[in-house]
């Protein structure tokens, strides 16, 4: 199943799509796989699998801590691809969220080939600009993969035009400037950013950074095609690991997914 089909299904049901993120390898590779599968079973329409990287500039403290532990446990690119394969096998579109350096080191075409073989849909690349993405544009075309670039509130119209032109699958609207992490309120800049992005593309627009509750998901679902949630999910697994309640992590992820899934269905637009 592709991201286009997932967004199309959500639109046909007059709701936004729920996009959930978890890093590969935390707290272990197998638990991360089970957590992502549980997320899909509880209502997530699309799954992002984070590829652990040693210098996660965009990530806030919650995701950065989980990624650090994943790397300390020996998680590698092959484990990320294994996670993608296992999650995609349950029928949910699965992308990799990654900084560019690991892909460049792996080999851009080789990674695109192996991601496609694993059943992955594409990449979200927060630190890659369209101007520097020539090899990825070619490889994603060759293997039919989505390429999701980020648009920021500070982006002028000319920049949004370039970003959206390079995207395939959907556009990632970063709702605020700064690092990832749950917030107490949805950014006031997000609706305007989505509106400006739509002036340049017919692709679905998904909003990320800051959503952690069903009520916030409903807010974003009122003006966006997708709601992206990451830190709030990772927080559930971190809490379970830190309190030695390992058997509670996956149920906590499922519970949050159900709440957020209900939220994206409470449209007010």
The predicted structure's pLDDT at residue 129:
93
Catalytic sites, residue numbers: 48, 59
What's the confidence (pLDDT) of residue 177?
42
Contact between 13 and 31 (Cβ < 8 Å) = no
CB-based contacts of 79: which residues, under 8 Å, 6+ apart? 24, 25, 29
* 3-state DSSP assignment of residue 18: strand
Alpha carbon distance 262, 216 (integer Å): 11
DSSP 143-190: HT-EEE-EE-TT--HHHHHHHHHH-BS-EEEE-SSS-----SS--TTH
Give the three-state DSSP class for 19. strand
Tokens of residue 254, six digits: 């499922």
Q: Tell me, what's the pLDDT at 56?
A: 76
What's residue 189's pLDDT?
A: 82
* pLDDT at residue 186 in the model: 53
The answer to whether the beta carbons of residues 50 and 20 sit under 8 Å apart is no
- Residue 107: the pLDDT is 98
Nearest residue to 93 (alpha-carbon basis) of 48, 129, 63: 48
Phi, psi of 17 (to 5 degrees): -85, 145
| Cα gap 229→207, rounded to integer Å | 9
CA distance 269 to 260: 17
* Residue 217 dihedral angles phi and psi, to the nearest 5°: -60, -40
Give the residues of the chain that fall short of pLDDT 50.
177-185, 269
Q: Which helix (H) or strand (E) holds 12?
A: helix 3-12
pTM value is 0.93
Q: Could you tell me the two tokens for 208?
A: 């990320």
**DSSP state for residue 97 in the 8-state scheme:** E
Per-position DSSP letters for 202-246, written without gaps between them: -S-EEEESS--SHHHHHHHHTT-SEEEE-HHHHHHHHHHHHTT-G
Domains of the chain: 3-263 (3.20.20.70)
């Amino acid at each position: 199943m592709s991201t286009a089909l997932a967004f199309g299904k959500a639109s046909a049901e007059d709701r936004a799509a729920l996009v959930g993120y978890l890093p590969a390898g935390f707290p272990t590779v197998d638990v991360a796989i089970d957590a992502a599968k549980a997320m899909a079973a509880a209502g997530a329409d699309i799954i992002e699998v984070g590829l652990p990287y040693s210098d996660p500039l965009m990530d806030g403290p919650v995701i950065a801590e989980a990624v650090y532990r994943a790397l300390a446990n020996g998680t590698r690119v092959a484990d990320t691809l294994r996670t993608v394969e296992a999650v995609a096998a349950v029928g949910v579109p699965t992308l990799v969220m990654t900084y560019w350096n690991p892909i460049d080191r792996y080999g851009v075409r080789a990674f695109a080939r192996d991601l496609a073989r694993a059943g992955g849909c594409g990449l979200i690349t927060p630190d890659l600009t369209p101007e520097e993405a020539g090899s990825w544009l070619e490889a994603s075309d060759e293997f039919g993969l989505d390429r999701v670039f980020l648009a920021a509130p500070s982006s002028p119209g000319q920049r949004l035009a370039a970003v959206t032109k390079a995207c395939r699958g959907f556009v990632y609207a970063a709702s605020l400037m700064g690092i990832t992490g749950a917030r107490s309120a949805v950014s006031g800049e997000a609706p305007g950013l989505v509106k400006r992005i739509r002036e340049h593309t017919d692709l679905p627009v998904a909003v990320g950074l800051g959503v952690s509750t069903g009520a916030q998901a409903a807010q974003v679902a009122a003006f966006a095609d997708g709601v992206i949630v990451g830190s709030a999910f990772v927080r559930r697994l971190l809490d379970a690991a830190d309190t030695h309640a390992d058997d509670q992590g996956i149920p906590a992820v499922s519970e949050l997914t159900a709440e957020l899934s209900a939220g994206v269905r409470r449209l007010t637009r």
